[in-house]
Chain A
Amino acid sequence: MRDTSFGSSFSIKSFVVYILIGFTLFFVDRYNTKYFSFFRQSINDAIVYSIIIIKSPFYGVNYLIKSSQKLFDESIQIKEIDKIKIELESQKKLNLVLEKQLEDLKKIVGQERYIYQSSIAKVISYKNNIYTNSIILSKGSSQNVQVGDPVVFKNNLVGKIVEVNSFSSRALLITSRQSRIPVRIGDQKYNAILTGSNDKKNNLDLVFLPKEYKLNNGDILYTQSIEGTLPDGILVGTLVIDSKENFYIDSSFDFNQLDLVTILHLQKKKE
């Protein structure tokens, strides 16, 4: 005989108990009590590092396939050389951009210059779904990572740390619709807010642009420090205007292909 209308294997009582536990956990976590925060961080770290172990065979197989391909296929090696050449070219361009940025920064009157300490972190997981658009990194508070620290890749802004555990952290990507990054655009130095968008190419959009503006192809976007939330002058991307006169932002890398990124620690050290 079945005990309830939910079937032999699962009763209404169990259903209510799990839902109640869910709500209790939610409210306890939501109001961030000191003891639960430690508990949450420990669970997060345990899950993140378990995932590395679970994923390791897949990485191993992937590595083996790639290595064997490289061994037998000369064309791949040639492609690799071509790739390095392209990368070298892009680095040269990047140097020009950085020089320009440096000039602009020097023009900022009364601005203090800071040196930021940085550390390299591995991207453990990339998530883009209805819940979030973020990456999980292998560095946490034990490596001085703090909430608000910017994350960069090849000198381009990737996102911002939003959650820190002891040995891992989460960065909200700039392509997330929750993200708001103050930016300065091109020679005209327009101020705007960069936000994620699912409708735009590369998932990036600009809001709060001045009433009258004229954007040019190739304009460079870089961060703007408002109340010290982000350092000034981190490269965000390049503006591209397509044949239909619509603009999109080219960030020169794919967010779901990130492997190693740099975290800039905002604990400032005056130069």
Chain B
Amino acid sequence: MFKRKILPIILLLLVIIVSSQKISFINNTLSYYVNLQLVLIFLFVISDENINFNRGLSLFILAIVNDSLNGLFFGSSVIIFFIIYGLANYQKNIKVRTIFLSEWIMFSVSLTISYVVFILIQYLSNNNIFYKTLLINYVFTVLIYPMFWIIFHKLIYKNN
């Protein structure tokens, strides 16, 4: 119950609200390099068959909180979060057993789609788009995925 219903929501909420802490040796914040929210959504969905964020409702509310805190137009995070969520569900449904590589590739694909949509949203919002920042964030988010995959599959949801 806790691992399936409460832990995903609490962890995701904490990642969304906790202030970005600067890491001195990289001269920037961790959230500038890694989009932890998207990694968590994908991994929670893929790690346990019964995690569904209350049929998506909790994820919707968390996305609105994220929009509010980051000053984005409402709905922006809903679209991005649900692209990741939908594709993770698709991957979960087609797999017979856990294969790290196929999940990693699927994560990269879903991240690519969500970032393309994010660029479109930024364009529609009349905001400047910083491709270099997005590319750095994309690369580091993809690279950090294996580390979180190990934590999720070997520690948190090891019985699944």
| A residues adjacent to B (C-beta < 8 A) | 2, 5-10, 14-15, 18-19, 21-30, 40, 43-44, 47-48, 51, 54-55, 125-132, 134, 136, 162-163, 170, 177-178, 198, 201, 203, 254-256
Contacts and interface: CB of A to CB of B under 8 A. Distances in A.
B152 to A, nearest CB: 18
Contact of B93 (A7, A14, A29, A163): A7
A18 B76 contact: no
B82 A19 contact: yes
A10 B55 contact: yes
25 contacts: A5-B90, A9-B89, A15-B56, A15-B86, A21-B60, A22-B82, A26-B75, A26-B76, A29-B73, A30-B73, A47-B65, A47-B68, A51-B17, A54-B13, A54-B17, A125-B19, A125-B69, A127-B20, A130-B35, A132-B71, A134-B71, A136-B69, A163-B71, A178-B127, A256-B19
Contact of B19 (A15, A29, A54, A127): A127
Nearest to A134: B71
Contacts, number: 150
Interface string B74-93: 11101100110110011011
A203 B27 contact: yes
A127 B18 CA distance: 9
Q: Which 7 A-B pairs have the closest CB atoms?
A: A25-B75, A22-B78, A26-B75, A9-B52, A129-B31, A22-B79, A131-B70
B39 interface: no
Interface residues of B, number: 52
Nearest to B53: A10
Interface of B: 13, 17, 19-22, 27-29, 31-32, 35, 49-52, 55-56, 60, 63-65, 68-76, 78-79, 82-83, 85-86, 89-90, 92-94, 118, 121, 124-125, 127-128, 130, 133-134, 137
